[in-house]
Structure 1
Amino acid sequence: MTRSLRLRLMLGAAILSVLFMAGLLPALQSAVSLALKEAIEQRLASDVTTLISAARVEGGQLRMPDLLPDERFNLPDGRLLGYVYDRRGKLVWRSRAAAEENVAYTPRYDGAGNEFSRAQSDDGRQYWVYDVEVKLLGGQSAAYSFLALQSVDDYQNTLRNLREHFYLGFGAALLVLLLLLWGGLTWALRSLRRMSTELDEVEAGHREDLSDDHPRELLRLTRSLNRLLRSEREQRGRYRDSLGDLAHSLKTPLAVLQGVSENIAQRGQSLDQAYILQQQIERMSQQIGYQLQRASLRKSGLVRHHAALRPLAESVCATLSKVYRDKPVRVRYELAEPGLVPMEEGALLELLGNLLENAYRLCLEQVAIILKDDGQGLALFIEDDGPGVPAGQRQRILQRGERLDTQHPGQGIGLAVVKDIIDSYDAQLTLDESALGGAAFRIRFRPQ
């Protein structure tokens, strides 16, 4: 089933048009056939009147002239035949055109006046028959049936030609109608295309709301979307404010606890308890930071963001170079143009911070940052030349709290933050072996 609304409407309109014309064509053919039959009946009635006006009764016998006023009766092999029968059904006269035609028809002299019907000759030809009973002729009492016959071939040929013209005319009319419908639907759906364009601008961040310049049937939808956009912005603002207040309110108590633990450690009393206290304070601080990052770095519902990768990566690498100043790390960039990642800048900065810190910490001297379209979508690679991760451990370290490196402090939540950010953007994180010899974190984004 096609997903195009215009194609669906056009298909429905085309089907209805074809069904309408398919029903109209037989009705029109039937009306034309009836009109042709009525015309033939009227013409034969006129021809019978010609026969009656030419007839004379002399001495009780019917007399017909050798040549009738209507030349069609006189022509041999003509399509108009004339017959006269008496009241007993005996043939008393036939026209020259009917000299060699034997039609299987016997008139019924029953006082009905006239009759229009069909008959067949011995050779299988079909004829229209118009039969008129005459009781008084030439001022004398007489009773005869006057018949005029016309071949059905003319009627059938005319009907066949009309049917061909109907098919051609209806086909052309249907084609014109479909073209008009297509143009009408294109014009009628301009409002939907304009609304789609505005939604693209909202997703790209070029505008905040949809305009009211739409048909009233769409205004309820556009206003509902505008309310959703405003509610989302307000909710994100409240989240940021609440998280900022939470971070500020917890900062002071944690600083006090940190100072108390340091005082205890300096006095030389209960060093084990002071170390445990410091560990727990550090863990609380990291967990609070993790929850703040997790809540604040969610993808916006309707708006699509794009962030330039290279400036953010260079900023993170500059900071890490100072942290790991004793390790000369070379960073290689391979970024496909235009070098944009479909993420918010803050989320991308947090993701790069965790992955590059991991790469700097474990690498020997090389780190690679690669952004490319590999045929299945946009993919971001962070690679290093460190010891790598055993194949059996790659899935485990992506889980929250899992760590392979136990020589450096930490709670194992860095990759959990990365995983949550990536999941919120419907992306996929995998861990493979790098061409440099170490680990290669790959993030594949869904096509937009």
Structure 2
Amino acid sequence: MPWTNPRSSIRKSLLTLLLPAAIALMVAAWIVHGLLLERMARGFVENRLQDEVAFLEHQLRQSGPEEIRGIAEGDYFEEVFHHAFALRIGNQIHSSPELWTPMLEPLLAEARSGFVRKTNPGTETAIADFLAFRKALTLDDETVVIVVAEDLSTLQHSQQELHLWTAVVSGILLVLLLLAIWLAIRLSLRSVGRLQQGLKSLQTGASNRLDMEAPAEFQPLISQLNQLLDTLDQRLARSRDALANLSHSVKTPVAAIRQVLEDDTRTLDPGMRQQLAQRLSDIDRQLESEMRRSRFAGPQAGMAAQPVNQSRDLLWMLGRLHPDKNFELETKLSPDTRWPIEEHDLNEILGNLLDNAGKWSRRSSVLFLSDTGDQLIVTVEDDGPGADTDELSTLGNRGVRLDEQTPGHGLGLAIVREITERYGGSLVFGIAATGGLTVKVRIPTGNRP
């Protein structure tokens, strides 16, 4: 919102928005109450005036021609009526009480029906504000005009008193509402304080993960933070494993070369020189393999992966590393498709599978990408020598290799298996139609590492 500071505290923002809104709504409710009270009171008065005019008309119609004047001149209606009234029968006028006579008799001059509102007539003794209902009719060929009126000043005074008490009650309710809003905000934001304490504990090393017992709005944030911590721990463990494997694989040939070079009693014949060169070549290939694996890693973690674009980049890189082989991509996914997998992890999966296929293939390797809605599927096929059926179950185990002549240490497929299992997926090996190896990775879309 443009009128709020995005860097201000949540408590301050909520109070800034909710308190004026509560005050404005309460004031609006009080104003609407006054308008409704005025309307209801006027409607009540109008109904009473119409009822009394109807009663008076009924009595006049039931009386005989000679009784009409007697009724009008008597005190019958003064005893029955609750309002001031005036009658004009022909040229005779009768009104009650006398205080209302100056105000009601002018209304009898017009033979029209309807409500008449008079405010501040200008006389000190007159009623300041009144409402009258006038009805004209004909009885025995004589024009009869009936006017019934009620003083509105008393009613308005009662309305104002009621409206004032409503304002007092509304003020009390407003204060209670403001206190309730303040208390609700304070209690609701206690979880933010717990999250802040959890982050401090995480920073000081008192805990290694954030507590998941938090409101639903913070659950995705806490889950992503814990996921990031898991990813960092796993990458640290993976880096340590890679360094340990590299150290172990390099240590033996280095020790052998060192032993030969330190033995001054032996001469380096051409055969020995060739062995030393072969050992150094093995070390170089091992280092190159680790460097290539590091190049397959994505630039940043925590981002949704774009499988099509990443696959094209990796296929181009592998085409440069293996210029004598062909790498193809087959998919119906659009380039903008995103998968809920970390970019680094997807690069590890694709890079290791394609690198393995590039080493073993004779001419070509094919990468298939598909999305079934509940599963993300990555399939890599090559036209290499393949593997025996009984050997397929051992693939993907750390350190297992089917051919010692091919550079590598059997870690690539193991890394793919570890990443796949972190996402709740599966890694399946099979024989391709071309006779080579086919590797299929299935990752459920609802799972996160």
Decide: shared fold, TM above 0.5: no
TM range (shorter): 0.3 to 0.5
Tell me the TM-score normalised to structure 2 length: 0.44
Tell me the TM-score normalised to structure 1 length: 0.44
